[in-house]
Amino acid sequence: MKAAQLVDLHDVEEYWKSRNLIQSDQLTHYVRWLSRFLTGPGSDPGLSHEDALRAFMEQLERRGDVPEWQLRQAGRAVELFQKHYLRHLAENRADADVAVCIQPAAVPTTLDQAMDETRRLVRMRHYALSTEQTYLSWLAQYRDFVRLNGLPWDAPDTARAFLAHLAVRRGVAASTQNQAFSAILFLLREVAGKDTACLSSVRARRGPHLPVVLSEREVQQVLAQVGGTAGLMMRLIYGSGLRVSECLRLRVKDLDFDHGVLFVRCGKGDKDRSTLLPASLYAPLQKHLERIRELHQRELADGHGDVELPHALAIKYPKAVYEWGWQYVFPARERSIDPRSGAIRRHHADPQVMQRIMRDAVQKAGIVKPAKVHTLRHSFATHLLMRGVNIREVQEYLGHRSVETTMIYTHVMRGLNSTAVSPLDALGKTV
């Protein structure tokens, strides 16, 4: 009998809803993914949980038309079913006919095994490489804490103790504590299948913070310190309002010089958008692309020249990895080993190099503000608003989901563009 015949999807939906595992407006989508899984790989009685999930994700990737965010959603639906609902059935129902045919997965017994499983799940859900590295870095610190204090790694109380240690003993910032919180929450809820409701109280509360913004004069001073390709990248980040990762992942095909538009593909939240392409950068960018194309032609002649493609497009279009349009606008200086696939190819430039160059430029310009590369994006938004550009338009350029996010720049603008006079100054020089 197929697994789909043994599981009541309505019961699964009600269980997810009762445990607040999924947002209510997403439940229908998750149930649909589960239905597809149960009528596909999930119906094979010879597959373990891991193999069934892997087969399902590979099936979706082979289609080539499923966006990355939907792949993550599909994987999440199956994992919630396997790790939570099936365990709920096993604990609360003795009817053997209810058991799903696929074999149960082995629950990690050690933290090292759990960390390996975390890496596997993160990659299967198509999380960013930086997210994977951040999660594993925090879990390594969590492992040291567990071993030092002789505590069980899969107990929510241990997680609470570790987060309290970060906040009280180490005095980390709220954002840093929440970063660790997300990593451990993923470990306990997604890997160990624990009830993590009690952890919500230890999430750090972070009040509203105004972003650091440079004035137009300060932006000029900083950019004057940086030339070459790095200078071109920084000018593009400021001129188009890009995140660092968005600038680094630009492909040649994303630059539309005819219409003055730059396309951001798979930005934060896996969203596409378009933004301004500064006219002052047309000539420098085209000259830069000529040099990159010559490099690409030499690489092709040497038997290389392939590039990583998103969403398993390399399977659907095998020759696209060598096409000029898919090449990075800002490739790395040398070829390197892809940390996930193991392939040797030329990746995009290193973001850490950009941060170092920006730090040096800020120091040389004599600016004391704690400006980073992302500060150029903040400055882009603020300067547009100060010039009278509609906030909805700025929201679209930045790729913000809500206009409330963009409104933070109106608070900065109010301070920079205010006509108010301090009451002390109004008293005159006699005070």
Other residues' Cβ atoms within 10 Å of the Cβ of residue 324: 15
Q: What are phi and psi of 275, to 5 degrees?
A: -145, -175
Q: Given 125, 377, 378, 383, which residue is catalytic?
A: 377
Give me the torsion for CA of 95, 100, 105, 106, rounded to 10°.
20
- Fold agreement (3-98, 222-352): no
Q: Are 59 and 40 in contact (CB under 8 A)?
A: yes
> DSSP letter string over 75-91?
HHHHHHIIIIIHHHHHH
What spatial distance separates the first Cα and last Cα of the chain, rounded to whole Å?
90
For the question of residue 62 being annotated catalytic, the response is no
Q: Are 277 and 240 in contact (CB under 8 A)?
A: yes
**Which residues make Cβ contacts (< 8 Å) with residue 59, sequence separation at least 6?**
40, 41
Please give the Cα distance from 198 to 358 (Å, whole number).
42
- With 0-12 / 13-18 / 19 or more C-beta atoms within 10 angstroms meaning exposed / middle / buried, residue 370 is exposed
For the question of residue 409 being annotated catalytic, the response is yes
Q: Given 268, 273, 316, 372, which residue is catalytic?
A: 268
* Single-letter code of the amino acid located at 250: L
For the question of residue 268 being annotated catalytic, the response is yes
Q: Given 83, 189, 347, 400, which residue is catalytic?
A: 400
- Joined together, the tokens standing for residue 75 give 């994987």
* Domain 3-98, architecture per CATH: Orthogonal Bundle (1.10)
Q: Given 49, 243, 249, 348, which residue is catalytic?
A: 243
**Topology of the domain covering 111-202:** DNA polymerase; domain 1 (1.10.150)
For the question of residue 243 being annotated catalytic, the response is yes
Per-residue pLDDT of the chain (431 residues; tens, 9 = 90+): 344 445 777 788 888 888 777 877 788 888 888 888 887 777 777 777 888 888 888 888 777 667 778 888 888 888 888 888 887 777 675 444 444 444 445 568 889 989 998 888 887 776 777 888 999 999 999 999 999 999 999 888 999 999 989 888 888 888 888 899 999 988 988 888 777 777 776 777 776 778 899 999 999 999 999 999 999 999 999 999 999 999 999 999 999 999 999 999 888 777 889 999 999 999 999 999 999 999 999 999 988 888 888 766 777 778 888 999 999 999 998 888 877 677 788 899 888 899 999 999 999 999 999 999 999 999 999 999 999 999 999 999 999 888 888 888 888 877 676 677 778 777 865 55
Residue spans of the domains in the chain: they are: 3-98, 111-202, 222-352
Q: Give CATH for domain 222-352.
A: 3.90.15
Tell me the whole-structure pTM to 2 decimals.
0.70
Q: What are phi and psi of 102, to 5 degrees?
A: -65, 145
- Joined together, the tokens standing for residue 216 give 């137009």
